[in-house]
Amino acid sequence: METTSSPTPPSLHSLKTLEHFRVSPPKGSVPDTSIPLTFFDIFWLLNSTVERLFFFKFPFSTSHFISDHLPIFKSSLSLTLQHFFPLAGHLRPSSSSPDDHYEINYSDGDSISLILTETQANFHELSGDQPRSFANLRPLIPSLTISNGATSPTSTPLMAIQVNIFPNQGICLAISINHVTGDGTSTMNFIHSWASTCFSSSSFTVLATPPLFVRSMVVDPNNLHELNLKLIRSFTGSPDEYSSNPQSPDDVFFSTFTLKGVYIEKLKSMIMARYEKDGKAVVPFHCTRFVVACAYIWTCLIRSRSWPEERKAHLGFSVDARPRLTPSIPAGYFGNCLGFCLAEVKVSDVVGDDNIDGVLKTIESLGKAIEYWVREVGVLKNVELLPRMFIELVDKRPLSIAGSPRFRVYEVDFGWGKPVKVEVTTIKETGAMSIAESGKEEGGLEFGLAFPKHEIDAFQACFTSGLKFLIP
């Protein structure tokens, strides 16, 4: 057992480290393995960490958690890591490829850090939707030592976990994962599998989807591996150089906004009416709740920033490439497999006197961007073009999207009930918005933002006033 102390802001009271464990797959259960990075993985050498915080109600003492829940929590983690062993490994320069080629290496006995802490802070305040300073959330997050893979020869850990107990209030499970390991589909497959195994208290792993690590599934006819290596070599400076949120993390406030299902359906019906002709609506893009909800949030953000009307606003986001490749890749493929989309709209089209028309134009822009980049250009071509385009737009503060309603983050249950709040704190560095299914509103979508307090307040005003135009 290893114990350490952590610097903690007064507003979080004292955060006490109780124990520091190392958890590995069962000894001898996984052979030594090296997995090369694909061109999908390489891009994430630039901006690696994904931090997710799961807040669960837990009206019991710390000693109760340690005696009744911690043993199965740790053993289920070990069992699950046997199937998701790259998470216990390290990122390192490839031992069999040229310079600047990287691989994930797992050796028997490799482990991840699991820290158990206790805090007397207010659980309900930290897990709320209202603006919360990142300074109060920071101590809850495990450190994952990140070396920029583009320049550092050192070995980099890929996952760290911290369990924060709020006695008689709740638990915050914080997971830091290096994005190089896998995209949200992959990492949430791990989390769902771990939670199901823990919930069942069984001696075998309950897999959500069996993971696959066969890199030959990813075909690279356009030599995107070398193109992406060249890209990251040109951006080997500070992460601030490719961050679209210029604020210091401690100046950032997190706030959550939920768009109810009734508002989403209203927006969809407005789009249908816009394209109705002779009693029939033919919309030239797939008008999903993701499209209309993200477009509404994007509209509110543009309006809240008081940008010049001649300016253009951009929204970048990723799509799961597995079913869109030829041949398609199985859903269980563990790694990064993302295509990209970039939508653009004129600020003058969004900030006019007609509140509804501006929203509908952003919906059209977003929907048509998906049609163009995914269906017309294709995944392999947009992976070649869009990463550089998006990085070059950073100084224009584009909005990006982290997460997906498909990840079902509010269905994660370790045996303590489903989470009351899920937060993606790494959006503080990228200026992205996180998206998930609503944990409170059936059919709704939940958006997390991380900006300085005055920007959150300005967004809140636009968000609230816009809803009044949808349903007076």
pLDDT of residue 13: 56
Question: Is 4 contained in some domain?
Answer: no
pLDDT single digits (tens) 103-122? 999 999 999 999 999 999 99
56 strand-pairing partners: 171
CA–CA dist 156, 146 (Å, integer)? 6
* Residue 421 contacts residue 127 (beta carbons within 8 Å): yes
CA–CA dist 435, 33 (Å, integer)? 34
Domain-ending residue, one of 174, 205, 239? 239
- Measured CA to CA in angstroms, residue 209 lies from 29, 83, 151, 206, 258 at distances of 19, 11, 34, 9, 29
> Are residues 410 and 297 part of one domain?
yes
> Are residues 359 and 226 part of one domain?
no
To the nearest 10°, report the CA torsion of 236, 237, 242, 247.
Answer: 160
pLDDT of residue 10: 40
Tell me the range of 209-213, 231-235, 427-431 where mean pLDDT is highest. Answer: 209-213
Question: Is 291 contained in some domain?
Answer: yes
* Residue 349 contacts residue 294 (beta carbons within 8 Å): no
Does the N-terminal peptide bond of residue 157 adopt cis geometry, omega within 30 degrees of 0?
Answer: no
pLDDT single digits (tens) 165-179? 999 999 999 999 999
* Residue 174 contacts residue 161 (beta carbons within 8 Å): yes
Closest to 298 measured CA to CA, from 287, 311, 284, 313: 313
To the nearest 10°, report the CA torsion of 116, 194, 184, 58.
Answer: -50
Q: How many residues can be counted in the chain?
A: 472
> Are residues 269 and 208 part of one domain?
no
* DSSP H stretches of helix in 344-439: 347-350, 355-370, 379-392, 427-430
pLDDT single digits (tens) 241-250? 444 444 555 6
Q: Which percentage of the chain shows pLDDT scores above 90?
A: 73
pLDDT band at 99 (very low <50, low <70, confident <90, very high): low
2 strand-pairing partners: none
Domain-ending residue, one of 210, 239, 268? 239
Whether the pLDDT of residue 155 is over 90: the answer is no
> Are residues 255 and 215 part of one domain?
no
> Are residues 294 and 235 part of one domain?
no
pLDDT single digits (tens) 294-310? 999 999 999 999 999 99
* Residue 146 contacts residue 158 (beta carbons within 8 Å): no
CA–CA dist 61, 113 (Å, integer)? 23
Question: Is 407 contained in some domain?
Answer: yes
Question: Is 371 contained in some domain?
Answer: yes
> Are residues 345 and 271 part of one domain?
yes
> Are residues 231 and 265 part of one domain?
no
SS3 25: coil
The total of structural domains in the chain comes to 2
Tell me the range of 14-18, 145-149, 187-191, 302-306 where mean pLDDT is highest. Answer: 187-191
SS3 160: strand
pLDDT single digits (tens) 395-448? 788 899 999 999 999 999 999 999 999 999 999 988 899 999 999 999 999 999
pLDDT of residue 335: 98
pLDDT of residue 246: 47
Question: Is 5 contained in some domain?
Answer: no
> Are residues 299 and 234 part of one domain?
no
CA–CA dist 109, 291 (Å, integer)? 45
Question: Is 141 contained in some domain?
Answer: yes
DSSP states of 343-354: EEEEHHHHSSS-
Mean pLDDT over 32-46 rounds to 92
Token pair for residue 336? 């990064």
CA–CA dist 379, 154 (Å, integer)? 32
Residue type present at position 92: R
* Residue 445 contacts residue 435 (beta carbons within 8 Å): yes
> Are residues 391 and 284 part of one domain?
yes
pLDDT of residue 234: 77
Domain ranges, residue 305: 249-470
> In what order do the strands lie in the sheet containing 338-346?
132-133, 252-259, 445-452, 433-437, 399-402, 312-320, 338-346
The contacts of residue 340 (CB under 8 Å, 6+ apart) are: 316, 317, 318, 319, 373, 382, 383, 386, 387, 390
pLDDT of residue 98: 64
Whether the pLDDT of residue 9 is over 60: the answer is no
Whether the pLDDT of residue 238 is over 80: the answer is no
pLDDT of residue 30: 96
* DSSP H stretches of helix in 70-140: 70-83, 123-126, 134-137
Whether the pLDDT of residue 316 is over 80: the answer is yes
- Measured CA to CA in angstroms, residue 429 lies from 21, 64, 71, 252, 307 at distances of 29, 36, 35, 9, 21
Closest to 305 measured CA to CA, from 274, 266, 347: 347
Domain-ending residue, one of 239, 260, 277? 239
| Cβ-based burial of 223 (10 A; exposed 0-12, middle 13-18, buried ≥19) | exposed
Q: What is the CATH number of the domain that holds 457?
A: 3.30.559.10
pLDDT of residue 95: 77
Question: Is 197 contained in some domain?
Answer: yes
Q: E strands, 179-279, where?
A: 252-259, 276-277
The contacts of residue 311 (CB under 8 Å, 6+ apart) are: 346, 347, 396
Tell me the angle at which helices 453-470 and 355-370 cross, rounded to the nearest 10 degrees.
100
Query: What SS3 string covers 244-258?
Result: CCCCCHHHEEEEEEE
pLDDT single digits (tens) 355-392? 789 999 999 999 999 999 999 999 888 888 877 787 77
Whether the pLDDT of residue 146 is over 70: the answer is no
pLDDT single digits (tens) 68-88? 999 999 999 999 999 999 999
SS3 409: helix
pLDDT of residue 166: 98
> Are residues 312 and 189 part of one domain?
no
> Are residues 192 and 80 part of one domain?
yes
Q: Work out the mean pLDDT of the chain and round it to a whole number.
A: 89
> Are residues 216 and 257 part of one domain?
no
pLDDT of residue 154: 56
